[in-house]
């Protein structure tokens, strides 16, 4: 399976590297077919450019016949960016209305969500209201959908952090977590990453299970670790990564693990910065495009 995944990812990456189109802003003249990349959003400008922007650019380069547009689902972030930076970003309804007004006939919507949770369901419900507004409209799959997706993400995150995997260091990824049934993806990812032989990798969440308490129990139970490397299991490295994971407050993951006696290093880098993750979103967008034919 790993060889198959590696081949798919290489193909997707070659497509990204060989094509030459750049991300088109919504202020430019719209074509008849467009890809709307929908993200939760972040107010951390550097992380946004390196993650969401990188995914959008990868998709634009892979599918130059489509205009790539952006929408955020968090109105709080949209309002903050407008007030603080003068940056105007559409919410989903505004982006869909703009596409209709611009005469887009084929619309591919690719979310940067990790899973099929509440936000993904809300997005699908919103798109259903526009079925009669376009000749063709389709939504792409979230990052972690099939077993092949899980294996591709495991490959991407373990290769990126391989230099830390020395037997005395634990590599712990912090996800968001959700009350939805889709929260099970975190447990599944842990099971698969362990089954693949990566015994020093741990998955936890901020707002669900497995929790930081579960991660600490697993690390202490191993009894061989001196250091823990923390990294967000989120597309962007935003508020959760900078505060809940790497902050100096007593309840941050960093502080909790330091109190347990571990040396802690925090990598403030979102999944969207990893080329293998970008390639997977490109592949999901391509599958959505193919479904229209």
Stretch (H or E) spanning 72? strand 67-72
pLDDT tens, residue by residue, 159-204: 999 999 999 999 999 999 999 999 999 999 999 999 999 999 999 9
Sheet holding 263-266, edge to edge: 201-205, 169-175, 227-232, 263-266
Q: What is the pTM of this model?
A: 0.89
Mean pLDDT of 277-284: 98
Domains of the chain, first to last: 2-144+273-291 (3.40.50.1400), 162-266 (3.40.50.1400)
pLDDT tens, residue by residue, 3-16: 444 444 434 444 33
Report the C-alpha gap between 212 and 192 in whole angstroms: 19
Report the C-alpha gap between 255 and 264 in whole angstroms: 9
Taking residue 274's Cβ as centre, other Cβ atoms within 10 Å add up to 19
Report the C-alpha gap between 97 and 280 in whole angstroms: 28
Selecting among 113, 176, 240, 284, the annotated active-site residue is: 176
Which structure tokens are listed for 190? 């842990």
Q: Confirm whether 284 is a catalytic residue.
A: no
Task: Identify the bridge partners of residue 69 per DSSP, sorted by sequence position.
Answer: 36
Measured over the CA atoms of residue 279, residue 280, residue 285 and residue 291, the dihedral's sign is positive
pLDDT tens, residue by residue, 62-118: 999 999 999 999 999 999 999 999 999 999 999 999 999 999 999 999 999 999 999
């Amino acid at each position: 399976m790993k060889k198959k995944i590696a081949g798919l990812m290489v193909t997707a990456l070659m497509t990204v590297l060989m094509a030459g189109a750049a991300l088109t802003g919504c202020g430019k003249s719209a074509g008849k077919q467009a890809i709307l990349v929908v993200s939760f959003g972040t107010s951390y400008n550097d992380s946004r450019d390196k993650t969401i922007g990188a995914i959008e650019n990868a998709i634009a380069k892979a599918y130059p016949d489509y205009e790539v547009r952006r929408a955020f689902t968090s109105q709080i972030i949209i309002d903050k960016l407008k007030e603080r930076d003068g940056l105007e970003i559409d919410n989903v309804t505004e982006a869909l209305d703009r596409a209709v007004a611009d005469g887009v006939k084929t619309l591919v919507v690719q979310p940067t969500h990790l899973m099929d949770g509440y936000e993904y369901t809300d997005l699908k419900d919103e798109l259903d209201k526009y079925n009669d507004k376009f000749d063709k409209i389709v939504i792409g799959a979230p990052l972690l959908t099939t077993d092949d997706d899980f294996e591709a993400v495991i490959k991407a995150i373990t290769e990126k952090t391989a230099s830390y995997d020395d037997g005395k260091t634990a590599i712990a990824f912090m996800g968001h977590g959700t009350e939805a049934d889709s929260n099970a993806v975190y447990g599944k990812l842990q099971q698969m990453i362990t089954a693949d032989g990566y015994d020093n990798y741990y998955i936890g969440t901020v707002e669900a299970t497995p929790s930081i308490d579960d991660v600490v129990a697993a690390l202490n139970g191993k009894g061989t670790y001196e250091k823990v490397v923390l990294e967000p299991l989120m597309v962007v490295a935003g508020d959760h990564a900078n505060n809940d994971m790497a902050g100096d407050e007593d309840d941050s993951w960093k502080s909790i693990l330091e109190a347990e006696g571990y040396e802690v290093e925090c990598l403030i880098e979102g999944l969207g910065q990893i080329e293998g993750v970008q390639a997977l979103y490109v592949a999901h967008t391509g599958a959505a495009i193919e479904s229209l034919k």
